[in-house]
Amino acid sequence: MPDILIKNTRIYHNNSLQSAEIIIEDGKVTRIGKDLRVSSSDMIIDAGDALTLPAGIDVHVHFREPGMTSKENWYTGSCAAAAGGVTTVIDQPNTVPPTTDRRAFEQKLKLARGKSIVDFGINGGVTGNIEKLEELWKLGITAFGEIFMAESTGGLNINEETLEESLAEIKRLGALATIHAEDEKMRLELEGLLKGDISYEYHSRVRPNACEAIAVQKALELVSKLKVRAHLCHMSTLEATGIIRKEKYLARRENKEPLFTCEVTPHHLFLSTRDWERLRSFGKMNPPLRGSNSIKALVNGINDGTIDMVASDHAPHLESEKDVDIRVAPSGVPGVETLMPLMLAAVRKNILPLSRMIMLTSWNPAKAFGLDRKSKGRLEVGFDADLIIVNPRELRPIKAEFLHSKAGWTPFEGMEGVFPEYTLSRGEVIWIEESINAKPGRGNFLEGRGERSEEDEEDLEETGETQD
């Protein structure tokens, strides 16, 4: 007996939208076709000609737990993800304590397993802890990083010597390095030169386009030298996009797949330096807001394949924390719940085709982070039924009062999004009729390629700490 039958829907298949029905059994997609005959089912969803698409995979979130739960926790962050059509997230290591050793990893894993309603991976931090990287890898982290080349939230930035040593070890382990590429030397120099600048635009000036471009070039030189697999986080500039495009072209000219992938965030695609006046210190993030030429380059990049995926860099802070002087305001904006709605709205507005949006938000993230081997990222028979049902014609204003993050605000206030009517995770409806429909702790931990041993699992059951 099928668990769920989705009827009267359309899916993207063979480069076109096609009418279809979908049968889900034991959390997996088992049949896709037209006029499927079933004797009965546990649940029938009549999509009313809406689209059924792969749910989003957000490879860059900061759910703030442990240590900063006034801003977010695994339950509230995962509810925001589900409401926005994201069913898999990868959490970053700059929590308190940072995820840089076994104890910190297992503390975070226990909390996530108890609270998350979506599936998740956990990244391991890279500081001066080279001797700990193998241990973290074998515990099941998804990847290493984001590795900070410049100062950012959590103070985990490292110098170039430590970066090279760490990347060499990550290469030896066969792991993936994710890199936050900004040049710390330039940032510090400009911070001194601009100390009299009290404008909100100060933050874009102290981390200019060249700050990112220089760091991207350095990072890719190390990637090439060490032959390490890498992922560049939140690309934001015309110059960095050009460097990436060139490096990918040179690799493919030699019939080689590039050693690296990269992401862009919705806030770098859809916000700009023109928004400083509206957002004030709420617009502070690293890397900062950019000008219109960079936005055009990023849009071209998501369309021509230079940029591999979109990730939210969901980094919530409370309004009271952000509403201060630009120099002391923390960097980061919430975004996991608005990632898919903004990208679907961009399809509606002909900024990119639906096929490309699916690649950017599900297929490519799954492949780059090894989640395809966990049956993630595709609407195909045999894959997890991680799906969203959306009506692309239903654009509606984004309003913070209807969002689920503890942050309580959004930089996209008043902008249009296409929100899901249903979100399904492994065949379970976790978002329906504008409400969460899942219990804390239903999310699965998606182990990385290093994978945990049975002894590690036994140790975790015997120990572990809880935190609200």
**62 in a labelled binding site:** yes
- Classify burial at 300, counting beta carbons within 10 Å of its beta carbon; exposed 0-12, middle 13-18, buried 19 or more: middle
**314 in a labelled binding site:** no
Contacts of 32 (CB under 8 A, 6+ apart): 11, 13, 20, 21, 22, 23, 379, 380, 381
**412 in a labelled binding site:** no
Q: Pairing mode, if any, of strands 56-61 and 51-54?
A: unpaired
Single out the residue of 213, 220, 217, 219 nearest to residue 163, CA to CA. 219
The answer to whether the CB of 347 falls within 8 A of the CB of 392 is yes
Q: Pairing mode, if any, of strands 16-25 and 396-397?
A: unpaired
Instruction: Copy the structure tokens of residue 356.
Output: 């490309």
**234 in a labelled binding site:** yes
Q: Which amino acid is at 32?
A: I
Single out the residue of 89, 221, 200 nearest to residue 149, CA to CA. 221
Instruction: Report the SS3 class of residue 407.
Output: coil
**Active-site pick, 91, 101, 313, 456:** 313
Q: 263 preceded by cis ω (within 30°)?
A: no
**203 in a labelled binding site:** no
**13 in a labelled binding site:** no
How many other C-beta atoms lie within 10 A of the C-beta of residue 21?
A: 21
**64 in a labelled binding site:** yes
Assess whether 313 carries a catalytic annotation: yes
For tokens 């609407």, what's the residue? 379
- The C-alpha atoms of residue 103 and residue 109 are separated, in whole angstroms, by 10
**386 in a labelled binding site:** no
The answer to whether the CB of 309 falls within 8 A of the CB of 339 is no
Name the binding residues: 60, 62-64, 94, 146, 180, 234, 313, 317
Query: Binding site for Zn(2+): residue ranges?
Result: 60, 62, 146, 180, 234, 313
Which residues are part of the catalytic machinery? 313
Which residue ranges make up the annotated binding site for substrate?
62-64, 94, 317
